[in-house]
Amino acid sequence: MNRFHMYIPIKTDPLHYAANELAKSGISFASSDDDANVILYPIPTPKDVLLPVSERTLILGGNLSPLSQPHFDLLKDPYYLAQNAEITAEAALGILLNNLPCCLCGTEILIIGWGRIGKCLAQQLKNLGTEVSVCARNPSDLSMLAALRYQAISPEMVPSRLQRYRCVVNTVPAPILSVNDTFSSDCLKLDLASGVFLPGESVISARGLPGKYKPEASGRLIASSILNYLKGVEIS
């Protein structure tokens, strides 16, 4: 890996841990973009921070499109997305443990969405004895949820059941509930989507959980994803 000379223009905790892991694999680091043939940005990458660099320079980050020069977008990498969902779910579980005054075992919790994060969080909660309901639109997802012994409900069923849940966790970047839907008075509302899509007040908006709560795990994942990608890359 010593043919890769990397520059990290924005210092974050996850990239600190990522750099340590990358250095162990033989990647060297530059003090500026002038001396680098690889630039690593935070994930996701702010749109206004991309440096004007040579077309031969490899850009690493997230949400990089449209970018004409060589790049690796981790937010389009299946391995990164799957592992990051597991880290996100574990961080979300920590928020629930810290904010719910009751035990998770036997508590009824609704997860909205059956994507990567929803699947990971549902499994983690189920392992703790939580009574997990999952809201999904796709009939095949509802069938799979029932087969996995979750309470499977469609979006149309949610309003009539909403007051039974001590916690509602949203993972869908779209509004499923309206301001007219009534939660229980002691319901904890946690939104993991890229915005706040749960209605009402006192919603905990928790984006970017891996970097905030699990920076070392996040950094190690960034490094392993990059190393997997670089195995097939030739660079001058």
The pLDDT tens digits of the residues spanning 138-162 come to: 999 999 999 999 999 999 999 999 9
**Average pLDDT for 113-125:** 97
Asked if 115 contacts 141 with a C-beta cutoff of 8 angstroms, the reply is no
Percent of the chain past pLDDT 90, that is, above it, reads 84
Asked whether the beta carbons of 183 and 168 are under 8 A apart, the reply is yes
**pLDDT tens-digit profile of 171-196?**
999 999 999 999 999 999 999 998 88
CA-to-CA separations, 144 to 138, 173, 207, in angstroms, rounded: 10, 22, 27
Tell me the mean pLDDT in the region 91-113: 97
Burial of 33 (0-12, 13-18, 19+ CB in 10 A): middle
Q: H helices of the chain, where?
A: 13-24, 78-99, 116-127, 139-147, 158-161, 209-213, 215-230
Contact 174, 153 (CB under 8 A): no
Q: Which residues of 88-126 are buried (b: 16+ CB within 10 A; e: fewer)?
A: bbbbbbebbeeebeeebeebebbbbbbebbbbbbbebbe
Average pLDDT, the chain: 94
Closest CA to 230 of 14, 37, 45, 53: 37
pLDDT tens, residue by residue, 29-53: 999 998 899 999 999 999 888 887 8
- Residues of the chain with pLDDT > 70, as a percent, come to 98
Q: What residue type is assigned to position 81 of the chain?
A: L
Do the beta carbons of residue 105 and residue 130 sit within 8 Å?
A: yes
In the predicted model, is pLDDT for residue 235 greater than 90? no
Neighbours of 134 (CB within 10 A): 26
Instruction: Read off the pLDDT band of 1 (50, 70, 90).
Output: low
Closest CA to 215 of 6, 15, 11: 15
Could you give the maximum distance between any two Cα atoms of the chain, in Å?
61
200 pLDDT band, cuts 50/70/90, is confident
What is the 8-class DSSP label of residue 202?
-
Report long-range pairs for 70-75 (Cβ below 8 Å, ≥24 apart). Answer: 70/235, 72/226, 72/229, 74/43, 74/222, 74/225, 74/226, 75/43, 75/44
pLDDT above 90 for 201: no
pLDDT at residue 69 tops 90:
no
* Tens digits of residue pLDDT in 120-131: 999 999 999 999
Q: Enter the tokens of residue 202.
A: 């006192």
Cα–Cα dist 89/123, whole Å: 9
Q: Tokens 């990971």 — which residue? A: 120
What is the per-residue pLDDT for 236? 59
